[in-house]
Amino acid sequence: MTGISKTYGGTLACDDVDLTVRAGEVHALLGENGAGKSTLMRVLSGDVTDHHGTVAIEGRPTRFGSPHDAQRAGIAMIPQELDLVPGLSIAANIFLGRELRTRAGIIDVRRMNRETGDLLARTGITLDPKRHVGELRTGEQQLVAIAKALALDAKVLIMDEPTSALSPAEVTRMFAVITELRAAGAGIVYISHRMEEISRIADRATVLRNGRVAAAFATADLTVAQVTEALVGRPVQALFRTEHGSTGRELLRLTDFALRPRRTRPGRREPDGVSLSVRAGEIVGLGGLLGSGRTELLETLFGAGTPGRRHGELRVRDRVVRPRRPRQAMRLGMALVPEDRRISGLALSHSIRANTVLSIVDRIAVGGYVPRKRETGAVRRVVDELKIKIGGLGDAANTLSGGNQQKIVLGRALLTEPSLLLLDEPTRGVDVGAKAEIYQLLREAAGRGIGILLASSEPAELVGLCDRVVVLHDGRSVRELDTRDAGEAELLAAAMGEGRTAAAVGGES
Ligand SMILES: Nc1ncnc2c1ncn2[C@@H]1O[C@H](COP(=O)(O)OP(=O)(O)OP(=O)(O)O)[C@@H](O)[C@H]1O
Ligand SMILES: [Mg+2]
C-alpha cells in the first residue's frame, strides 16, 4: 500500500500511509483508538474505495471496487465489527455468496455443513454448523468469523481485533492456526490492543498515530513493555494500582444461585450454583473460559437473562430480590455494561449526544425537561474524562472507532452513578493508554463506594485491577482468589477446571 489517504468529512483517518506485507509474516498494525487502523484495512479489503494512493498485490497495482474484488485477489478480512448475519446458520454465513452446489446446480447443504464443521474444528471450537449465529456469544462469533476467513484460503489475511472477546486458551488455539498459515506462506495483518499478543505472534509492526505511520520495526525479541512504549510513544507506568481499597457494607450476595430456564436456549450456560459477594468499594472479577457462564450470570443479575426459576439466594443490600426486568435491577441501583456494545449498548445511527444522555435523562431533568446546557455538560464530561476522540457531539455513534464506541458505553454507565456496576468485558478493544484511564476511573468509582462486578477474559486485567476474582466453570463458581497472593497462573489453572472433583473433570472430556 503506497500513499494511502482517506477522509471522512473533516477527519483525515489515513494520511499518506505506506504499508508492505510479505508472504510468511505476521505484521502487527498498532495504534491508539481512532488512529486509522481499521480504515486502512478497509481500503485493503475493498470496503473503502474512495481513497487516494495505490494498492499493489504481488507487485501488480490494483483498484478494488468492492470486497468481492479484493477476495478474488486473495484478500480476506475479519472485520472488527463482525458482519455475520444473525438470522442465518453458521454454515450459511460461512458460505454466504459462494454456496457450494452439487453437479446438478443444487445447493449442497450437507457438504456445507460438513466443511463448516471441519473449519470450526481448526479454530478449536465445537459448534453445530446449523445453529443460528445470533444465538452465539461474541467470542464464539469471532471464531466463526475466523473460520469464515479460513474458508477463503487467502494470500493475505487481515485480522482486526480477532481476540478481543477470547480467553487465553482460545487465543493460544488461534495462534496455532496463525502459525500454520504463516508457515504456508500467507501474509497476516494482525490488529490487537493486547500487547502481550503482539510480542508473542508478530514478526514486524507498524504504528499509526493520527492517521500517519509513526514507527515501523521488527518485533522479534521485544518485550511487552517495549512494544507498549513504541505504541504510546513514551515510557508507560504500570497499568495497575498495587494497593487494595478499603471496603464498606455488603451490596450483593449470591448463595448457591442458579437459574432453571423455562425454555433452554442453545449454547447458553446459565448460572448453576454461584456463590459470591461484592462489598461497597470493591472490584470483584469474574474469570473463566469462553462459555463458562460469566455473561449469563451478569445478565441474570440484571434481569436481562433467560426467563426461568431462580434457586438459591440473591441479596442486594441484605434484601432478597428477584429482578426480572432491567428496570427493576436499575431501581435496585444496578447498571450493566454489556459485552456486545452493538446489540444492547449503543444506538449506532444516533448521535453521540443522544447515546450518552440516554440513561441519565431522569436524573438531570428539571421539571420534566432537560436543559440543553445540562445535557451538553454531562456529555462533555464523559467525552473529556475518557478522552474520547470524536468530531462533534452530534455525529452518529457509528462514525467512532471501535474503542471509542466502547468508551461511550462505559462512560454512560458511570454517569448513572449506580451503587452496583456490572461490567462485561469493559475494555474490549480499548487501547493501552485509555485502558489505564478506565482502570483509574473504576478505582475512583470504587473509592466513592460503588461495588463493581467485572467479567473479563484478560487474566492481567482480573489480577491487576480486582481485589478478588471468582472463577466460573460450567456456570458454577469453583474458586475464589485473593489477588494479593494469587497471580495469573493460578487464575488460568482454576479456569481450566483444576480444583474440581476428578470425576467432573473426566466426565467432560
Ligand atoms: N464511517 C465513518 N464515518 C466518519 N468517521 C469515521 C468513520 N469510520 C472511521 N471514522 C473516523 O476515522 C478515524 C479512524 O478510525 P478507525 O476506525 O480507522 O480507527 P482505529 O485505529 O481502527 O481505532 P480502534 O482501535 O478504536 O478500532 C477516527 O477518527 C474515526 O472517528
Ligand atoms: Mg478499529
Give the percent of the chain with pLDDT over 70.
Answer: 92
CA 211 from centroid of its chain's CA atoms: 23
Q: 195-224, pLDDT tens digit by residue?
A: 889 989 999 999 999 999 999 999 877 888
Residue 334 pLDDT class (50, 70, 90 cuts):
very high
Q: If you take atom 31 of ligand 1, which residue's CA is the nearest one?
A: 400
- DSSP string spanning 288-308? --TTSSHHHHHHHHTT-S--E
Domain ranges of the chain: 2-232, 250-508
- Residue that wins the pLDDT comparison between 283 and 166: 283
CA 302 from centroid of its chain's CA atoms: 20
Q: How far is the CA of 39 from the centre of ligand 1 (A)?
A: 6
Phi and psi at 128, nearest 5°, equal -75, 120
Residue written as grid cell 503482539: 198
User: Do 2-232 and 250-508 fold alike per CATH?
Assistant: yes
CA gap 438, 169 in Å, rounded:
25
> What are the angstrom distances between the C-alpha of 332 and each of 52, 73, 151, 278, 307?
53, 55, 48, 14, 19
Q: Which CATH class is domain 250-508?
A: alpha beta
Q: If you take atom 10 of ligand 1, which residue's CA is the nearest one?
A: 399
Residue 317 pLDDT class (50, 70, 90 cuts):
very high
Q: If you take atom 22 of ligand 1, which residue's CA is the nearest one?
A: 38
pLDDT, residue 432, reads 85
Q: How far is the CA of 12 from the centre of ligand 1 (A)?
A: 9
CA gap 335, 348 in Å, rounded:
20
Q: How far is the CA of 364 from the centre of ligand 1 (A)?
A: 31
Taking residues 85-110, report their average pLDDT: 90
Which of 30, 32, 33, 38 has most ligand 1 atoms within 8 Å of its beta carbon, as the pocket-test mutant? 38
CA gap 154, 53 in Å, rounded:
23
Asked if 65 and 46 count as a contact pair (C-beta separation under 8 A), the reply is: yes
With a cut of 50, say whether residue 446 has pLDDT above it. Answer: yes
Sign of CA dihedral 445, 420, 457, 399: negative
Of ligand 1's listed atoms, the one at least distance from the Cα of 403 is 26
Residue 507 pLDDT class (50, 70, 90 cuts):
very low
Residues 120-142: b if buried by 16+ CB within 10 A, e if exposed? bebbebebebebbbeebbbbbbb
Asked if 415 and 356 count as a contact pair (C-beta separation under 8 A), the reply is: yes
Question: How many Cβ atoms from other residues are within 10 Å of residue 185's Cβ?
Answer: 11
Q: 245-284, pLDDT tens digit by residue?
A: 678 899 999 999 999 999 888 778 999 999 999 999 999 9
Q: If you take atom 7 of ligand 1, which residue's CA is the nearest one?
A: 399
CA gap 199, 220 in Å, rounded:
7
CA gap 482, 468 in Å, rounded:
5
Q: Rg of the chain over CA atoms, in angstroms?
A: 23
Q: How far is the CA of 468 from the centre of ligand 2 (A)?
A: 32
Q: If you take atom 25 of ligand 1, which residue's CA is the nearest one?
A: 33
pLDDT, residue 479, reads 93
With a cut of 70, say whether residue 239 has pLDDT above it. Answer: no
Runs of H (alpha helix) within 308-458: 326-331, 352-357, 361-364, 372-385, 402-415, 432-447
pLDDT, residue 314, reads 96
Residues 399-435: b if buried by 16+ CB within 10 A, e if exposed? bbbbbbbbbbbbbbbbbbebbbbbbbbbbbbbbbbbb
With a cut of 50, say whether residue 191 has pLDDT above it. Answer: yes
Residues 62-82: b if buried by 16+ CB within 10 A, e if exposed? eebeebeebbebbbbbbbbeb
Q: Where does ligand 1 bind, in terms of residues with CB under 6 Å?
A: 8, 11, 13, 31, 33-39, 80, 389, 399-404, 429, 431
CA gap 33, 473 in Å, rounded:
33
With a cut of 50, say whether residue 505 has pLDDT above it. Answer: no
Fold of the 2-232 domain: Rossmann fold (3.40.50)
Of ligand 1's listed atoms, the one at least distance from the Cα of 42 is 18
Q: If you take atom 3 of ligand 1, which residue's CA is the nearest one?
A: 399
CA gap 341, 452 in Å, rounded:
19
Taking residues 399-410, report their average pLDDT: 83
Give the percent of the chain with pLDDT over 90.
Answer: 48
